[in-house]
Each structure stands twice: as structure tokens, then as C-alpha cells.
Chain A
């Protein structure tokens, strides 16, 4: 792999990989680099470095970490506490904060993932995208690295919200944490893929943000993050079932409710589960829906970026 000796006319192939260079008399050794031909390993290196860049940039951006935590706090502790005074009859004794917890976690993940994908638009605007696009690696590696990076950062945000579970009455149970963690990571990946797909076409930050808000807000409100998905008016039920986010929130809520010690009535009312023509959709199928959509968007993003100049 590292034996790319294709250089057809290098006058004298440096025997020991070094060409002596004299700079104003002083002899200096210049390491001559042979860039290896493309291989799986070089693609993996590319994926890894693009991923790592996302992490470095996120860790530098303390303000972003802080501000993206604002929203979940507001929803959980302000809205959750305020509304629970109104809704105590309908929740069968379950704290509203506990009920909205999976939805709020999803929101934190979604917004972080969206901002991660938005960095691609900045990269284009500030020129850095070009540095990546001209590298001798597949565009798919760049897109994958970006999506993994976004997913990791958003997943990290999810973990912070996960840490708050105890404050809203969700038990710290190992199985529960693993389930919720896996689901939110899946969501983070899918949303980043969605954002990267959009960023392939949208080159202006304002347009990108406007479009993402337009997509994310309805998706969020229709998903049942803030209400139970059974007994809805038909129009809302149809929209709810069409909303991809429904299939991320619902399994997460099931996981949470499975570990709550509450009455059957409360369970039926608050965690009815998504149905397709009265068929109870299993959690794994729901997760598969999210995964498939994420992969589809990833594929589109890769195709778009491979086509770009």
C-alpha cells in the first residue's frame, strides 16, 4: 500500500526517502512523502479525521454546549412544572415532567444534530469544505465522518439529558439507560444525515436554518413528544404516523415507562404506543424505521456530494 512507486519521471528516486536540502549552507533533510494509493485504510483514516474534527470543534465551543442545554431545562423544569398544575387529572398521578422527558431528550439531540450539520454550510462558506473535497478520498468517507461526528456530538448532548433522568422521576436503570442511549444515538445519526443531505444543496446559512426550522418544528410537534399518541383526531393521527420522529420518541417513551411503577390506567393513557391500523408496532420496528430513513438520507447526501464539483 505504501509502495506507490508510480512516479514515472522522478529523475533520481531518493534511495532512502530523503532528499538533502541545503538552506543557506546548512544541510537539512527533507522527508519525502509518498502518498499511498487509495485503500480501505486511507478511507477509514479520512472518516476518522473528519469525525475527530467535529469533536475538537465542539469541545472548543463551550458556549454552544451551554446554550443547547437551555432548551431541555426550560421544557423539563419550567414548562413541565407549570403545566403539571393543569394536567394532574389527565396524567393519572404521573408527573408531567416524567412524561415529556423522552420528548425533551429527543429535542436536545435533534437541535444539536441540526447545528452539527449546519457546520457544513459554514465550512462551505469559509472555504474549508474545499480542502476536504479535493482530498484523494471518497466523498462518502467525508459524509460518513461528518455524520458520525454530528451523531457523536448530539449523542453527548443526549447523555447530559440522560444524566438528569433522576430529577424527573425516571430511574437510573442500566437496561433503560442502554436502551435510551442507543435510541438517541440512532436519532442523532438520522437527524445529522438529514441535515447533511439538506446542506448538500443549500449553500446559505440563513436558508439552511430557515429550512431546518421549518422541517424540525412540525416534526417535533407532530411526533407526540409532548402528548400521548392514542385517541387523537384523525387528521392529527395520520400526520403523527407519517412523522419519522414519532418512531424515535415512541420507543424511548416505552423504555422509560417500562421502568416506572405506575397504574395500568396511567400506562394505557400516557404510553399507548404507536399503532398502524390497530397493529401495535413493536419498538424494534420503530427503531428500524428511523434507521432506514437515516440510511436513505445518508445515501442521498453521499450521492449529492459525489456529484458536486
Chain B
């Protein structure tokens, strides 16, 4: 994006010295499984960089390596100019972390949680009170500072964690699924702050997300699948490459419907999310035509949906599937619910 280009003077050679994150051939192997299979990318200072992909794609492993929580099996990574293996503490001092699952102490008050963080990160004592008030006001929790964290809702906990991640003024803020489970209002206020933060504090934001619509707030997006980065570009460029509306129809016999689409409309369709899915230039105009020309001999259509091109479609066009939830259990349920509510 244009404002990123001004802070990163040499876009041609992406290994600019000002890169906030610089990754070279990063690999993580667990016994026989290669979770991350050699990835390269740079994040310019001041950028909002999004990591998109299904669960199990290697996003969390990558973020954990960048946060010095997991040792890479190969390759190298620099965060805020420091090597994640050789200069672990330097890296930690310069990053803020908001994990997917809460890491707050529920039996302490909000303020006590932040104070504890300030002590662990060695925030100068004379600045603690002021900074704490600022970050808590940003997330709207200053009035609740004396409450036990256990009494907080999921959204409040997440806001508090973001405040905590900012407390020591990190150079790079890592957000692993930052807005999962938050109501739309909180989500947008968090995004507003994230963008404002980027402008004022010269902070770099590195986030992973499932939400395609949130990925669009990013300056650049890397789509990851099966341990590799499939594509890395701005959201606009990615969408321009797809350019089609997505139509999904439900029928009793998907294979027959796919054959019929090919035969009559010359459209290649696949089954995704339990429905026959295909792309057309103008979905809204295609649907009436579809019904006009749909032969009674074809399996009846139960429902139709049309969607404008989104990053979902980008993902699909590069990987052949929609973002799938490979996880199981409660987290998954929560996330699905959250996604559902966000639509």
C-alpha cells in the first residue's frame, strides 16, 4: 500500500533493513510432520500484516516461532531486528502478544494483571500508572480496573489482553485471532484502535485470522495452507485476481447438477461447504437465467446464494477449498459460533 511504501524505501529488495519481521526459509518439523515447510516473507515497519488460513495450516506454529516460543527446525527469522533464536530476550522485549486463548489470571483484578505484566517486562516504575491508565482507557476498561478478571465477559478479557500486550510499547504486536468471540461493536472499535495505533506509535501489527472481512483491514495478507505460503499480496490485488461472484446452490444430486451446469452453462463447479459452488461475473443477473434455463429433468434446486468476491474466494481459488475448520472441540464450536454471529 502507498503508505507502507513510503516507510519501506526499497520495495524491490524486500529485505529492507527496516523490516519489522524478516523470515527466511523457516521450517518447523515435529518428528515426521512438517508443520511449516520453508517460508519466506518480510513485514515492513508500520505495516498491518495478516496471516490467513485454515487451522493446521501452520499459522500458529509460525507465530510461535516468531514469538520465540517454538524453536525453528531450520531457516531464520528476525523480529524487530533481532534473531528469534540467538536473541530471544531482545525479541521478547520488543513484542506484544495476544494469544488465541486467554492468558490472564482470573483471580486477580484487571489492574493487578497489568501490574504483573509491567513488573515482568520491567516497565519503568514511574511510567506504570500512566501507561496502564492509557491502555485501559483505550479498551474501555479503566472503570472496571478493580474487578476480578473472572467476572469479565469474553470480549472484555480480550480487550484487557490487548491492553496488556500494548503496556510495554512493543515494536511488533502479535495478535493470534484477536477478535474471535467479540461482538461486532467491540470488533470494530478494536480495529479502529489498531489502525490508529499503527499511525501514532509506529507499531507493526502481525495477526492471524479466520475472518475474511477482517483480513481486508490488513495492508498485506499472506495466505497459508499446509505449511506453505500460497500467495502474499494486498487484499485489493488478491481480490482483483478472482473478480467473480460466488454462487452456491443446494440440490439433491450435486453430481448431476455439476454435469448440468457444465452442459448448459459451460460452468465448472465443485462441491464446497456442502453445496455446488461456482464463480460467475455477475451473480445477480445469472440467477434468473439459471432458473429460466434449468431443465425440469435436472435435480431441483433447493436454495441459492450469491456472494461478492471476498477473500474467502481468493482462498478458494488458490487452495481449491474454502477455509475449513479442521479443529474439533469447544474452541471450534466457539469459533464457528463467532463466525456465524459476525456474518
- Rounded to whole angstroms, the CA-CA distance of A49 and B115 in the bound complex is 9
B117: nearest residue on chain A (CB-CB)?
A: A131
Pair A35/B122 contact, Cβ less than 8 Å: yes
Query: Is A30 touching B121 in the complex (CB atoms < 8 A)?
Result: no
Within 8 A of A (CB), among B38-93: 45, 64, 67-71, 81, 89-90, 92-93
Contacts of B124 in A (CB 8 A): 2, 33-34, 36
- Chain A contacts of B297 at CB under 8 A? none
Given the contacts A21-B200, A48-B119, A127-B99, A33 and B68 also touching, CB distance less than 8 Å: no
Expressed in whole angstroms, the minimum distance between the Cβ of A150 and any Cβ of chain B is 16
Q: B130, A131: Cβ atoms under 8 Å?
A: no
Q: Does B250 contact A (CB under 8 A)?
A: no
**9-residue interface stretch from B104-112, B254-262, B268-276, B286-294:** B104-112
- CB neighbours of B134 from chain A (8 A): 28, 30-31
For A128, what are the chain B residues with a Cβ–Cβ distance below 8 Å?
103-105
Interface size class of A (residues with CB under 8 A): 35 or more
Query: By the criterion CB–CB under 8 Å, are B120 and A30 in contact?
Result: no
Contact, CB under 8 Å: A131 / B104: yes
Instruction: Determine whether B281 belongs to the interface, using a CB cutoff of 8 Å to chain A.
Output: no
Pick from A52-60, A100-108, A195-203 the stretch touching chain B: A52-60
| Nearest B residue to A45, CB-CB | B119
Residues of B within 8 A of A23 (CB): 196
> Quick check: B168 and A33 within 8 Å, CB to CB?
yes
**Are A135 and B92 neighbours in the complex by a CB distance under 8 Å?**
yes
Given A9-B45, A38-B89, check contact A132 B120 (CB 8 Å): yes
Cross-chain contact A135 with B112 (CB below 8 angstroms): no
Residue of B68, B103, B106, B168 near A131 (CB, 8 A) is B103
Q: B214 within 8 Å of A by Cβ?
A: no
Residue numbers in A under 8 Å from B119 (CB-CB): 45-46, 48-49
Taking the closest CB of chain B, its distance from the CB of A73, in whole angstroms, is: 26
Q: Is the CB of B107 within 8 A of A9?
A: no
With contacts A23-B196, A31-B134, A137-B120 known, is A127 near B112, CB below 8 A? no
Interface string of A39-73 (1 = CB under 8 A from B): 00110011011000100110011000000000000
B124 to chain A: closest residue by CB: A2
User: Within the complex, what minimum Cβ distance (angstroms) separates B181 from chain A?
Assistant: 15
Interface size on B, residues (CB 8 A): 48
Q: Judge if B34 is at the interface, Cβ distance under 8 Å.
A: no
Cβ of A21: which chain B residues have Cβ within 8 Å of it? Answer: 196, 200-201
B167 in contact with A53 (CB, 8 Å): no
Is B320 part of the contact surface with A, judged by Cβ < 8 Å? no
B127: interface (CB < 8 Å): yes
Query: Min CB distance, A295 to chain B, in Å?
Result: 25
Q: A61 to B108, alpha carbons, bound, how many Å?
A: 11
Interface: B10 (CB within 8 A): no
Within 8 A of B (CB), among A123-148: 123, 126-128, 130-137
- A16 contacts B by Cβ under 8 Å: no
Instruction: Say yes or no: A136-B104 contact (C-beta < 8 A), given A9-B17, A33-B169.
Output: no
Asked if B97 is at the interface (CB within 8 A of a chain A CB), the reply is yes
Cβ contacts under 8 Å, A45 to chain B: 119-120, 122
| A214 contacts B by Cβ under 8 Å | no
Q: In this assembly, does B116 line the interface, its C-beta being within 8 Å of a C-beta of chain A?
A: yes
Q: Does B342 contact A (CB under 8 A)?
A: no
Look across to chain B and name the residue whose beta carbon is closest to the beta carbon of A138. Answer: B89
Q: Given contacts A2-B124, A33-B127, are A136 and B112 in contact (CB under 8 A)?
A: no
Query: Quick one: closest B residue to A23, CB to CB?
Result: B196
B343 to chain A, nearest CB (A): 28
Residue B123 lies at the interface, judged by CB distance under 8 Å to chain A = yes
CB pair A133–B69 under 8 Å, yes or no, is: yes
Q: List 18 A-B contacts (CB under 8 A).
A: A2-B124, A10-B202, A30-B200, A30-B201, A31-B130, A31-B134, A33-B131, A35-B121, A37-B90, A45-B120, A127-B99, A127-B102, A128-B103, A134-B67, A134-B97, A135-B92, A135-B117, A136-B122
Supplied contacts A35-B169, A49-B120, A53-B108, 17 more A-B pairs, CB within 8 Å: A21-B201, A22-B200, A30-B200, A35-B94, A38-B122, A49-B115, A126-B106, A127-B103, A128-B104, A130-B99, A131-B103, A131-B105, A131-B117, A134-B97, A136-B93, A136-B122, A137-B120
